[in-house]
């Protein structure tokens, strides 16, 4: 599975490792920031809290991944990756 993904992205094993590390750290940072921001609202951990958390994490994730990708030298990969995701989400069916 990893070999297939590496070939699809057309990257070396080192770059592949850096990309996966960026995904992991970016996602962790996103979850941490989401919890911290919701902590400022002092909400009880009920359905509203979790609904807001999911929305907030969805909005924060691209920014966190891009921020983490800079020191790992993977900014151009993630800029293209997020652009493709955006294109798929905004693609209109004719």
Q: pLDDT by residue (tens digit) across 75-89?
A: 999 999 999 988 988
Query: pLDDT value at position 80?
Result: 92
The contacts of residue 69 (CB under 8 Å, 6+ apart) are 22, 26, 75, 77, 78
Query: pLDDT value at position 6?
Result: 92
For the ranges 26-30, 36-40, 41-45, 46-50, the maximum mean pLDDT occurs at 26-30
| CA atoms of 58 and 61, how far apart (whole Å) | 6
pTM as predicted: 0.80
């Amino acid at each position: 599975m990893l070999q297939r993904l590496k070939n699809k992205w057309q990257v070396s094993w080192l770059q592949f490792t850096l990309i996966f590390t960026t995904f992991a750290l970016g996602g962790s940072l996103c979850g941490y920031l989401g919890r911290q921001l919701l902590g400022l609202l002092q909400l009880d951990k009920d359905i509203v809290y979790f609904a807001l958390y999911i929305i907030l994490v969805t909005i924060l994730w691209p920014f966190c991944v891009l921020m983490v990708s800079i020191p790992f030298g993977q900014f151009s990969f993630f800029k293209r990756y997020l652009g493709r995701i955006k294109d798929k989400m905004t693609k209109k069916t004719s």
